[in-house]
Amino acid sequence: MSISTFESLQNFITEKMRMSHIYQPVMLMTILRNNGKASIEQIAKQFLINDQSQIEYYSKITTTMPAKVLEKNHSLIHKSGNDYLLNNFNSLSEDQKNILIDLCQQKLNAYINKRGDAIFNHRKKSSGYISGTLRYDILKEAKFRCELCGISADKKALEVDHIVPRNNGGSDDINNLQALCYSCNAMKRDRDNTDFRRVADCYYHREENCLFCEIPTERIIEENELAYVIRDGFPVTNLHSLIIPKRHIASYFDLGKSEVNACNRLLEETKVKIQAVDNMITGFNVGINIGEDAGQTIFHCHIHLIPRRKNDIENPKGGVRGVIPEKQKY
């Protein structure tokens, strides 16, 4: 490679390359690594390797489909951390390994020949091209969050979804496009034409002068996209915690499904962490006050997680029935 070619490429990469996706550097790297020449298929495979949404998709497939069959149903493999190991692999000779690989390849070839393109129809995207500029505009409009579940782009890859699927006559017009994370988009597929673009807006609603809408950040122990955890300011027991949706909403029953899921995840995580720091905990009370007559004093939904320890009261029988004292014992 001449100096001028090197300098030209170096200058382009460092100064002139403007990126709307991963494609330019991946394509150049692929050509450079293949002695200055790479086929369309070779380049496309590298795009696939570097596409995090595809990796997430097939990671999910790995753990839920083939691994379940091979591990639980037939005891051929086992999981160790993030790896799958073939049982008794070291007992196989090189010839035996190659024979088994060939047998797998024969099975694969026969299946592909029988099923053809139908095998991957579920992963085919729109045949229309969504430009990098348009994709950026869609994600920017969504504040780089999934329009349905609210997760941010730095935590899960976002995709541009056709509200009315192309298979049902939907266009590539910006008004028919929305940002969904890989998981929400995979669940939606082509089954409906629900417009989620305004669903996520409600997650940002805050109420002025609400204690839980204006909670100091230093009090927050854990949080996710839609909820957070603090210790109760007037704890019933040590490590008494509150799981609170970020949106200002009074009743648990008015939470969206994604908010309920977010709260439940934090509830479980907080329970595990509390038990890890206090081995005297033998139980929990989980409770929600909904409405003034049920004892609610802060009208921003919050879930109490109250650790219990043996003999912390004389007779704990009845638990949450104690909200009406004379009904606790039965």
pLDDT tens digits, residue range 259-276?
888 899 899 999 999 999
Exposed/middle/buried for 216, CB within 10 Å: 0-12, 13-18, 19+? exposed
Token pair belonging to 141? 């409009």
Residue 162 annotated in active site: no
Mean pLDDT of 313-328: 90
**Alpha-carbon distances of 107 from 12, 21, 96, 253, 276, rounded to whole Å:** 46, 36, 17, 51, 48
Per the model's pLDDT, the better-predicted residue between 308 and 40 turns out to be 308
- pLDDT in the model for residue 57: 65
Is 60 exceeded by the pLDDT of residue 2? no
Per the model's pLDDT, the better-predicted residue between 76 and 243 turns out to be 243
Least confident of 57-61, 81-85, 174-178, 231-235: 57-61
Q: What's the CA dihedral at 193, 196, 198, 202 to 10 degrees?
A: 140
Is 90 exceeded by the pLDDT of residue 310? yes
- The structure tokens 């592909």 sit at 112
Is 50 exceeded by the pLDDT of residue 50? yes
- The structure tokens 């912390």 sit at 312
Contacts of 303 (CB under 8 A, 6+ apart): 242, 243, 244, 252, 263, 267, 286, 287, 288
Name the fold adopted by 217-327: HIT family, subunit A (3.30.428)
Tens of pLDDT, residue by residue over 82-114, are 888 888 888 888 888 888 888 888 888 887 788
Is 60 exceeded by the pLDDT of residue 137? yes
Is 90 exceeded by the pLDDT of residue 172? no
Is 80 exceeded by the pLDDT of residue 58? no
- 145 φ, ψ (degrees, to nearest 5): -135, 150
Is 90 exceeded by the pLDDT of residue 248? yes
- pLDDT in the model for residue 127: 46
Per the model's pLDDT, the better-predicted residue between 154 and 120 turns out to be 154
CA distance 87 to 91: 9
The confidence band for 129, taking pLDDT boundaries of 50, 70 and 90, is: low
Contacts of 285 (CB under 8 A, 6+ apart): 304, 305, 306, 308, 319, 320
Is 90 exceeded by the pLDDT of residue 18? no
CA distance 163 to 177: 6
- The structure tokens 């969904």 sit at 180
pLDDT above 70 as % of the chain: 91
Is 60 exceeded by the pLDDT of residue 128? no
**Which of these is catalytic: 162, 300, 302, 304?**
302
- pLDDT in the model for residue 241: 98
Spans of all domains in the chain: 3-91, 92-120, 132-202, 217-327
Is 50 exceeded by the pLDDT of residue 28? yes
- pLDDT in the model for residue 208: 92
What's the sign of the alpha-carbon dihedral 270, 272, 278, 281?
positive
Nearest to 259 by CA among 302, 230, 222, 291: 302
The confidence band for 119, taking pLDDT boundaries of 50, 70 and 90, is: low
**Alpha-carbon distances of 153 from 125, 145, 163, 182, rounded to whole Å:** 19, 6, 19, 10
Cβ atoms of residues 165 and 190 within 8 Å? yes
- The CB density around residue 195, as the number of other CB atoms within 10 Å, is 13
- The CB density around residue 290, as the number of other CB atoms within 10 Å, is 15
Intra-chain end-to-end CA distance of the chain, in Å: 88
Per the model's pLDDT, the better-predicted residue between 41 and 212 turns out to be 212
pLDDT above 90 as % of the chain: 31
Rg of the chain on CA atoms, in Å? 27
- Looking at beta carbons, which pairs linking 301-304 to residues 24 or more positions away fall under 8 Å? 301/244, 301/245, 301/249, 301/250, 301/251, 301/252, 301/254, 301/255, 302/212, 302/242, 302/243, 302/244, 303/242, 303/243, 303/244, 303/252, 303/263, 303/267, 304/232, 304/236, 304/240, 304/241, 304/242
- pLDDT in the model for residue 118: 59
Give the number of C-alpha atoms closer than 13 A to the C-alpha of residue 89, restricted to the C-beta side: 6
